Amino acid sequence: FYIMKRIFSVIASLVLVATMASAQNDDFKGYWFLQLQGGAAHTVGETDFSKLISPSAALSVGYQFTPVIGTRLNVNGWQGKGAIANGRGAAEVYKYNYVEGGLDVMADLAALFAGYKFDRTLNPYIFGGIGANYAFNNDEANAVKDLFPSQSGENYLWDGGKLLGALRAGIGLNIRLSDCIALNLEGNSSFIGDHFNSKKGSKADFQIKALAGLTFSFGKAKPAPAPVVVPPAPAPQPEPEPVVEEPVVVEPAFESLTRNVLFIINKWDIRECEQIKIDEVVEALKANPDTKVRVSGYADKATGTAKRNLFLSQKRSEVVAAAIVAAGIDEDRIITEYFGDTVNPFETPEENRVAVCLVK
């Protein structure tokens, strides 16, 4: 019990400090909470650790008085295990049931050391408490006593049920999921009066638990927002005389111009009706001296051979480029290319007998 006394001493000190630290905290309002937990328990005994693990569950109802200090009524229990040597170098394990209830005092470590924060994600806490443990359903222990009387001696001291005092301490963590729900992880220890595991010894029995579950908060209020200070309205100023500005006409920047110069099947002569398109290309080049023109020659795939079509597309791009140069445009501003019938950019054969001029 020396360790338990030290734990309770630490908790009592934290309670005193926390009460003083949170006395003036106007943002916090007390609230109720409910915890549902499940996990595993280990009752210390004379065999392998894993053989004495059993299921455990807990239900708690509590109230958070300050950002740091809260209390809860806790009921936990399910199953315990014990063991006794069978005289053949092994141990016989038996099960029994129990229920334990008590009052815990809790201290929120995050609020204690870092101040209150409504939406903090991780909230670790420690607790200590006192209560009572009622063990029952001890038939297996008594059966082991009957099987190995020479080993059990006077160890099995109760049948039916046994009420014992209990001290509890532990540490836990609430992981915020929303304003009113948190994932809960907790580890705790119970020091229970001797005979809890049906065996007589010189020290109290000891049980440790690892639990996980949910914490539900009821009435946990967000702190009120700080009042908004509205500065006084400035004194009215005389309105300035209106300034009449001349409208500014912004000419749109030139982006690009595309013209498709069409040809007759198997020809590369520029027809008069297509010359106007070349004139528009020349006009755009003269008006925008920073631009260039790309002339791309094509031939329709529906007629002619690939070799003939390559020749036609070359001649079409060259004749259009020559017409642009003849109109006064520097050759350095003209890029020519030809694709034969490997590329048909349009849907019909008539459209693909073309030299496409792109000014950009």
The rounded distance, in Å, linking the Cα atoms of 279 and 284 is 9
* 9 has pLDDT over 80: no
Write the pLDDT tens digit of every residue in 305-332. Answer: 999 999 999 999 999 999 999 999 999 9
Q: Pick left, alpha or beta for residue 219 (phi over 0 → left; psi -120 to 50 → alpha; otherwise beta).
A: left
- Put simply, whether the predicted model's pTM sits higher than 0.75 gets the answer no
Query: What value does the mean pLDDT take over residues 35-63?
Result: 92
Tell which residue, 356, 40, 32, has the closest CA to residue 185.
40
Which domains does the chain possess? Answer: 2-218 (2.40.160.20), 257-359 (3.30.1330.60)
User: Alpha-carbon torsion 287, 289, 291, 294, what sign?
Assistant: positive
Question: In this predicted model, which residue has the larger pLDDT, 239 or 340?
Answer: 340
pLDDT at position 126? 96
The rounded distance, in Å, linking the Cα atoms of 201 and 187 is 25
Tell which residue, 232, 342, 329, 219, has the closest CA to residue 280.
329
With b meaning 16 or more CB within 10 Å and e meaning fewer, what string describes 179-190?
Answer: eeebebbbebbb
> Are the C-beta atoms of residues 209 and 41 closer than 8 Å to each other?
yes
> Which residues, including other chains, have CB under 8 Å from residue 146's CB and lie 6 or more apart?
none
Supply the angle between the helices 306-326 and 272-287 in degrees, to the nearest 10: 60
pLDDT at position 233? 77
Q: Which residues pair with 164 in a beta bridge?
A: 133
Q: What is the DSSP letter of 239?
A: P
pLDDT at position 94? 87
* 5 has pLDDT over 50: yes
Tell which residue, 355, 357, 358, has the closest CA to residue 263.
355
Tell which residue, 52, 49, 83, 51, has the closest CA to residue 152.
83
Write the pLDDT tens digit of every residue in 164-211. Answer: 999 999 999 999 999 999 999 999 999 998 778 877 765 678 899 999
Query: What value does the mean pLDDT take over residues 92-121?
Result: 92
Cα dihedral: 189, 191, 197, 200 (round 10) = 150
The rounded distance, in Å, linking the Cα atoms of 145 and 151 is 8
